[in-house]
Amino acid sequence: MCKKMETEFIQLNKNWNAEPNAPGEEVEEKDGYLSLTFRANPWAYEGYEEGQRLELRFYGCSEWRNGETNDEGWYSGQCRFSKIAPKWGEFYEVRGNALLGKCPSDWHQIGTAEGKRHFLFYLRDSTFECKANSYELI
């Protein structure tokens, strides 16, 4: 008998996060990595100034999306991870069942790499996801 894998969320942001009201996220395909930049949250975490931008770099990225589901949509069940992700507004690695049957079709395919890890970042007015081998915070 085959056991269905549960969806697991590992929170990756420790002592940092995106600005909760206007993160101003931008996604760019760069030479060798995918870049997600956004304003840092200076009110919840020490060491960040208002307007300061952070960058997440994803290496070995095979695909990404920055969808329209916002916090209101998440709370009303419009996101495939609504009611199962621990919290809105956090950066996660998703393991196990990624609920691909409910996955939006707005993914951008890039490169020839086969991203092995699934990253998810809930921002104020969007949901960022990518499949990549690794990431780093700049």
Q: How confident is the model at residue 1 (pLDDT cuts 50, 70, 90)?
A: very low
Closest alpha carbon to 16 in 43, 35, 51? 43
Q: What's the rounded Cα separation, in Å, for the pair 82 and 6?
A: 14
pLDDT at 84: 83
What percentage of the chain exceeds 70 in pLDDT?
Answer: 91
Spatial contact of 132 and 36, defined as CB atoms under 8 Å apart: no
What's the structural domain count of the chain?
Answer: 1
pLDDT at 4: 57
Q: What's the rounded Cα separation, in Å, for the pair 96 and 4?
A: 9
- DSSP state letter for 31: T
Q: Considering only 19-23, 93-97, 102-106, 129-133, which range has the smallest mean pLDDT?
A: 102-106
What is the extent of the structural domain holding 15? 7-137
Tokens of 114: 């086969």
Q: What's the rounded Cα separation, in Å, for the pair 93 and 72?
A: 22
Q: What's the rounded Cα separation, in Å, for the pair 44 and 41?
A: 6
In a domain, 106, yes or no: yes
In a domain, 1, yes or no: no
In a domain, 2, yes or no: no
Determine the length of the chain: 138
In a domain, 88, yes or no: yes
In a domain, 27, yes or no: yes
In a domain, 54, yes or no: yes
Q: CA angle, corner 50, sides to 9 and 46, nearest 5? A: 60
Tokens of 69: 């589901």
Q: Select the more confidently predicted residue: 105 or 56.
A: 56
pLDDT at 102: 60
In a domain, 123, yes or no: yes
pLDDT tens sequence across 36-95:
999 999 999 999 999 999 999 999 999 999 988 777 877 887 788 878 888 888 999 999
pLDDT at 100: 61
